A and B are shown apart, each in its own frame.
Chain A
Amino acid sequence: MMSLERSPRTTAERDEPILEVRNLQTAFFTEKETIRAVDDVSFDIRPGETVGIVGESGSGKSVTARSIMGLVDSPGRILQGSSIRFGHVETVREYAEAFPNRTVDLESLRAEYDPNDFFARAAVDVRPTDLGYERADDVPLEDVVAAGYGDALGVGDGDCVFVTDGSPESPSSIADGFVELTRLDGEAQRRMRGGRIAMVFQDPLTSLNPVYTVGNQIKEALRLHQGLRGEAATREAAELLEDVGIPDARRRVNEYPHQFSGGMRQRAVIAMALACEPELLICDEPTTALDVTIQAQILDLLAELQEERDLAMMFITHDMGVIAEISHRVNVMYAGEVVETAGVNDLFADPKHPYTRGLLQSIPGRQEGDRLQTIEGNVPTPNQPATHCRFAPRCPKAFADCEAVHPASVPVEEGATDHTAACLLYPEELPTAEAVARHRRRADTETRGDTE
């Protein structure tokens, strides 16, 4: 069932990432405890690329997706220092035009920004290590403002569009920049949702409103983002249904969700998500509720649509088989952290992190002996900042230091920038003691915040 023939595109041949997630931290504040559902997650998505996020339930996959969509509800909150940058140039131009008051020209700010001086200021309560850098000198201005520490430089509360190349005054001249998703609200946020980033949810049976026709719900999106109404909208909706492989689309447009089968409903949901031609499609376990044959059809459909439209896709699942089928790059999440990142071939051929290995072993037909191996135990609820490896209690390779040092994401071996793991055993070429020392140094600077 594994098909690995699809070649992952390497980062170098692809253009700039369309989405950059940096140090994303999303926490839920309850009376009893603070649950750090997403704890310092970073990854990129490029146009035409599918990035898989895999992990057991409770690993923070869905919260990551919701954070990108701005759908995290109270008592949950994205913490300061997190940044999700949407780098699609046309979107940046459109936003600069629509929200001139929320647009900042980073070029003109750069003159005032001196990293060493900035981090030394008393009013600035952020350290370079919080942003993932060891030294203040290395921290680019973009990271500072995107993470929400720009007020000391005069960035306003509502500012969310940052232009790095071109002038905000004439939007068409903008050649580079980004929209910071964590700073969006109101109209700016609604335009992004559905219009630029669309999402397909897990359960097709309940993600359509039962009292309106499927066509009505697709047309709602069309009217919102493309201003289509009446006949034109109906025609477009039928076309979309046809595109996602629903036969007799002209008639089915006027049917209610309960008249569709599960697989057809998920197709309709996908049609709705694509209605506004988003750049990025987030799929949150879109096939989990469907049976295996339908699941394969939906995966094929998504791959096909991606090809046609050069969509960037983020695909969340707990199913390693599905990940192998659809993604180009994979992020393995565990207890709110990304523990391993690699191209899909590398990951399946040469998994490094003990958790990834465990996951792969629990796929039927892949393990050695006759018995299906599973990882004992459950994902812990991350309610404290990590001071050790969160996987240690379940890890077959755990050793004493795993309880004392928090592993940082490092290349699995010299020069393997495309394959990182957060485990004290890596980088592989170093003797373990040295590797541990390196992780400890990283962890120490993060907790103590020495900026020397």
Chain B
Amino acid sequence: MSRWGYFFRRLLLSIPVLFLVMTFIFVLLRMGPVDPVAARLGPEATGAEAARMRERLGLNDPLWEQYVDFVTDFLVLDLGQSWVVYADWEVTTIVMNSGPPTLWLGFWAILLPLFIGIPLGFYAGLRPNSWSDYTASVSGILWQAMPNFWLCIILLAVLRQTQGGGWLGFDWYAFGPEIRSITGTPSLDFLSWSNPFGAVPFPTGIDWSALAVDVKLILPPALVLGSASMAAELRIGRTAILETINSNYVETARAKGLKSRAIVWKHVFRNALIPLVPVITNEAFLLIGGSVIVESIFNINGLGRIFFRAMVQGDLPLAGALLFIFTLIIIFLNIVQDFLYTIIDPRVGYER
């Protein structure tokens, strides 16, 4: 099978996954511990009012009809309404409002480790058993050993200390763009939109200082959220380099008379990236879980925090809809992973 045939087969495989998750959410909603009517009207609601609500929610239809309705609604992204957290709001509206900060956080939480963890790991791998290798490896392990919530609190405490000039005169508040609070939701209004091509809005300009504020707000939580990935990428990156350097084709390349720089860039890096692909995407899955805690502590009004509140307050439609969105994200990341594999490794999809 060709490389791209493999890719499209993987793409098709995500469809059953999607249906499985939707069924799970449906079961949770209709047969779960929380009665939808009681959740909306309060536990005391009885009689005619409750009956009318049952009728309105379609709870009297046969179960298979309810299932079909539910699945079609989800597939056209009509995710229903929140019961408790944002009573009677459309889930879609909630997601439109809270999604961007989470994406912003996730973006940086993937980017930072990528550009810190992998280069450090490669650097350490190219100089095995040197002092820089030990320093990088040990700090990587320490960094990974610290739990997220703990890191959050320490980081917040340290940054707060710097107000008005802290250690070496460094003041996080005044460093770069001014901010009043080190926590909070980034506003993300640095793009100005207009509709030059008709209905679809198109970004036409960037407000650099607003962007700077948003970046500065997101860096500490992104650093915490990405800490585990950073350490993992460092570790795996180092091992991958070591393995590749000692491989026979690198020796062959040396025997050909290639410069070591050419060997590292051409023959080592690309091969060392192959084992890193699943690490990067797997760590991205973990971000979703991590964002629940980090968003709560850093006071960011994002999907993670809303998911947390929906679970605690028994807002099943909201939680279910968010679960569905998280599933979409994970499926998307899986596709990205397969795509990366397909590009980097020609052996993909090759069966001997």
Q: Chain A: residues with CB nearer than 8 A to chain B?
A: 69, 71, 189-195, 198-199, 201, 203, 206-213, 220-221, 224-225, 256, 258-259, 269, 272
Contact = CB atoms under 8 A, between A and B. Distances in A.
A71 B255 CA distance: 8
A211 B345 contact: yes
Contacts of B271: 209-211
B45 interface: no
* SS class, residues of chain B in contact with chain A: helix
Contacts of A224: 256-258
11 contacts: A191-B257, A193-B257, A194-B256, A195-B257, A198-B256, A199-B255, A203-B248, A211-B345, A220-B256, A220-B266, A272-B256
B253 interface: yes
B273 to A, nearest CB: 9
Given A256-B347, A258-B346, A258-B350, A209 B255 contact: no
A272 B344 CA distance: 23
Nearest to A218: B256
Nearest to A192: B257
Contacts of A69: 255
A27 B257 CA distance: 23
Contacts of B55: none
A212 B350 CA distance: 15
Contact of A193 (B249, B256, B270, B274): B256
Q: How large is the interface on B (under 10, 10 to 19, 20 to 34, 35 or more residues)?
A: 20 to 34
Contacts of A272: 252, 256
A386 to B, nearest CB: 29
Interface in B231-264: 247-249, 251-259
A23 to B, nearest CB: 24
A225 B255 CA distance: 12
B30 interface: no
A207 B259 contact: no
Contacts of B256: 193-194, 198, 220-221, 224, 272
Given A194-B258, A221-B257, 6 more contacts: A201-B255, A206-B248, A209-B249, A211-B271, A220-B253, A258-B350
Contacts of A256: 346-347
A193 B248 contact: no
Nearest to A191: B257
B267 interface: yes
Interface in B305-352: 344-347, 350, 352
Contacts of A198: 255-256
B259 to A, nearest CB: 7
A211 B340 CA distance: 13
Nearest to B352: A258
Nearest to A190: B257
Interface string B44-84: 00000000000000000000000000000000000000000
Contacts of B248: 201, 203, 206-207
